[in-house]
Amino acid sequence: MPECPSVCTPQCTNCDKSQFQVRHRTLEKRFLPKFNILKHLSHDHKMAGQTLVPNVCSVFREDLFHDKVAIVTGGGTGIGKTITQELLHLGCKVMIASRKVERLKKAVTELKSTISRSSLADIDYLQCNIRNEDEVKNLMSQTIKQFGGINFLVNNGGGQFPSGAGDIRLKGWNAVVETNLTGTFLCCREVFNQWFKDHGGVIVNIIVDNFKGFPLMSHSGAARAGVENLTKSLSIEWAEYGVRINSVAPGGGIYSETAAANYANPTMIQSSIPRVPAKRNGTTEEISASVCFLLSPAATFISGETLRVDGGASLYKNKYEIPEHNKLPGYTWEKDLSSKL
């Protein structure tokens, strides 16, 4: 672990680790191909009564988005929270939106405290279930009212539950498709109708690594394939309005406490590591950087594209182990003729 810097950082009241140690331990663990991250994160580190907010940094220049307004769905947790942190760091005003108000409130309180006085950045939240058309309309209109317009939409909110396709009930299928495909469509349509049609803007959709199918999450694989195609259609339809739209496909498992908590087996996020050429999980920061790149002027000639951020995983073999079986016998004329004898 790196040496403690000369300026002493606050101590965690739960475990005596310094802020500096916590930050570096977290990074260190993330890069170890072991499944012990959960143990390390078993309590919130608190510094002088405050939950630790890790120091934000970015490969982009600090004022890059100082005149921009972004909406990040699912911006209170995991990948969405990291994207929000980086956008704030780059001077952006960010509206985060999802279903659970308590999580949104907590994130806003935490992240607001990180904004420096000289920055034009700002953050607020709105409750919005992206499956609900009226709530999506309200998200756009309230953001325009509060921040004066919208430049970026990051459709990050989404998810699924693991299940064999044979066991997925219609309600569960619909819940996943409505969340990931319909919800993304509603957000795109409303931001376009209410603002982008007249002012242009940039959209980034977060999808998944479903390029070789998404066994045990077939509902999500199908819904995200729909989003990938929607991305292509809209990039063509809306180019004349100054709208760019791309997708980012995180792969290999991106650890966050909330992502892991969604699964009965919390090591599921880590289980794909053996099949990631990079031999590690991705970080939320790596997803955020790719989103910021696609939002930025560095990507003004990129639209309708899907950026795979997966350490090469989508090129490697499928992560679903197929049990030994002989249920798909071969066809030969000999067998065919002998069956007719």
Ligand X SMILES: NC(=O)C1=CN([C@@H]2O[C@H](COP(=O)(O)OP(=O)(O)OC[C@H]3O[C@@H](n4cnc5c(N)ncnc54)[C@H](OP(=O)(O)O)[C@@H]3O)[C@@H](O)[C@H]2O)C=CC1
Per-residue CA distances from 245 to 220, 241, 331 (Å): 20, 12, 46
Within 10 angstroms of residue 160's Cβ, the number of other Cβ atoms is 24
3-state SS assignment for residue 295: helix
| Separation of alpha carbons 187 and 21, rounded Å | 40
Q: Does 208 bind ligand LGGBLMCM (CB under 6 A)?
A: yes
List, in sequence order, every residue forming a beta bridge with 307; answer none if it has no partner: 248
Q: Does 205 bind ligand X (CB under 6 A)?
A: no
**Member of 10, 54, 149, 159 binding ligand X (CB under 6 A):** 159
Range list of β-strands (E), the chain: 46-47, 50-51, 69-73, 93-98, 122-127, 152-155, 201-206, 243-250, 306-309
Among residues 19 and 314, whose Cβ is nearest to ligand X?
314
Instruction: Lay out the site mask for ligand X across 249-288 (x = CB under 6 A, - = otherwise).
Output: -x--xx-x-xx--x------x-------------------
- Report residue 339 as tokens: 């069956």
What sign results for the dihedral spanned by CA atoms 300, 301, 303, 307? negative
Among residues 145 and 169, whose Cβ is nearest to ligand LGGBLMCM?
169
Residues numbered 238 to 267 that lie near ligand LGGBLMCM (CB under 6 A) are 253, 259, 262
What DSSP line would sit under 180-238, residue for residue?
Answer: IIIHHHHHHHHHIIIIIHHH-EEEEEE----BTB-TT-HHHHHHHHHHHHHHHHHHHHT
Q: Which does 79 bind (CB under 5 to 8 A by kind): ligand X, ligand LGGBLMCM, none?
A: ligand X
Minimum gap (Å) between residue 48 Cβ and ligand X = 27
Among residues 172 and 304, whose Cβ is nearest to ligand LGGBLMCM?
172
- Using CB under 6 A, count the residues that bind ligand X: 31
Among residues 145 and 171, whose Cβ is nearest to ligand LGGBLMCM?
171
Find where tokens 């325009």 sit.
Answer: 144
Q: Does 43 bind ligand LGGBLMCM (CB under 6 A)?
A: no
Q: Does 80 bind ligand LGGBLMCM (CB under 6 A)?
A: no
**Member of 161, 225, 275, 302 binding ligand LGGBLMCM (CB under 6 A):** 161
Per-residue CA distances from 52 to 4, 30, 107, 122 (Å): 17, 17, 12, 20
Do residues 187 and 130 lie in contact, with contact meaning Cβ atoms separated by under 8 Å? Answer: yes
Query: Would you tell me which residues interact with ligand LGGBLMCM (CB under 6 A)?
Result: 159-161, 163, 169, 171-172, 175-176, 179, 208, 253, 259, 262, 268-269, 271-272
Query: Would you tell me which residues interact with ligand X (CB under 6 A)?
Result: 73-74, 76-80, 98-100, 103, 128-131, 156-159, 179, 183, 206, 208, 250, 253-254, 256, 258-259, 262, 269
